[in-house]
Every structure is written in C-alpha cells, then in structure tokens.
Structure 1
Amino acid sequence: MPAIVGIAQVVSVGSSGVFHIGDVFTINPISTAKTFAGAGSFITGRGISVYNESSLTYTVDDEVMDQGINFNL
C-alpha cells in the first residue's frame, strides 16, 4: 500500500544496515552474526526490574553450518 512520507534525514547507516522507505518486495542481509546473551540482556528503558533466580546461557553450538547468505547479493 503506497504511503506519503515526509522529510527523512539519515545521519549514517552501518556497513550491514538497511534503510528503506516505501513498498518493498524483499530485503536481503549481506552479513550475519550470532549473539549469546543471558536473561534481561537486551532490555532497555526506565524503571525496569528483572528478577532472574537462575540464569544459564547455553553457548555450545553443535551445528556444523548455520543458514547461509550465499545468494543474497
């Protein structure tokens, strides 16, 4: 569905970032990353309380290969 977009100012876009306005069929990444983090690691904001009695971040990766990005050029 078409949209009317006002002024957009882009200060910077990272090397693997995507900036998109309007309709799009597909957006393909050109890089990947794997992140391991414990409970409450990515919570942001004011007045947030995290009660975690037992935390374990399982970082053993038994997979030989993850999903590839070979055809996303």
Structure 2
Amino acid sequence: MPAFIGPVQILNIAGSGIVQFGDALFISPKSNTKSHSGSGASNTGGILVTINGISITNVIDSNLIDQPTVDNN
C-alpha cells in the first residue's frame, strides 16, 4: 500500500540505524547493546533536579545470552 509522508526531520542515526519509508515486509536490525548507568544518569529534559543519596549500580549479569541475534530474521 502506498504511503504519503509529510515533512520529516531526522536528527541523528547512530551506528547501523534503520530508517524505513513506505512498505516493508521485514525489518530486523542485527545488533544489540547493554549499558549500565547509575541513578538519574539517563534523565533527559529541559530542567532537571536529581537528588540521589548513595547510588550503586549492579553490573553482575547472570544471563549468558540476553538477546540472540544469530539467525534472527
């Protein structure tokens, strides 16, 4: 089915980002990441007030495979 797309503004495509316009049968990115950040580290906004006491980030990962990407079509 045809798609009519209005104004588009793409600010950033990092790494192997996927931008799809129109029809698609499969969209399957082939990457995964894991990140660890402390309390309030991922907050975004115009005005932020973050008050943290003691912040401990647990980075112990008991999973061997979180998201397999091999043969993931």
TM over 0.5, yes or no? yes
Q: What's the TM-score, normalizing by structure 1?
A: 0.68
Partner residue in 1 for 2:6: 6
Cα RMSD after superposing both structures? 3.0
- Whether 1:69 aligns to 2:61 is no
- Whether 1:29 aligns to 2:29 is yes
On the 8 A contact 2:32/2:67 being kept in 1, the answer is no
Once the 2 structures are TM-superposed, how far is the Cα of residue 23 of structure 1 from its aligned partner?
5.4
- Consecutive unaligned residues of structure 2, counting only runs of 5 or more, are none
What CA deviation, in whole Å up to 9, does each residue of 1:1-24 have, x standing for no partner?
A: x75312446576433211123455
Which piece of structure 1 moves more, 43-52 or 9-18?
9-18
Which piece of structure 1 moves more, 10-19 or 52-61?
10-19
Residues matched between the structures, number = 73
Partner residue in 2 for 1:57: 57
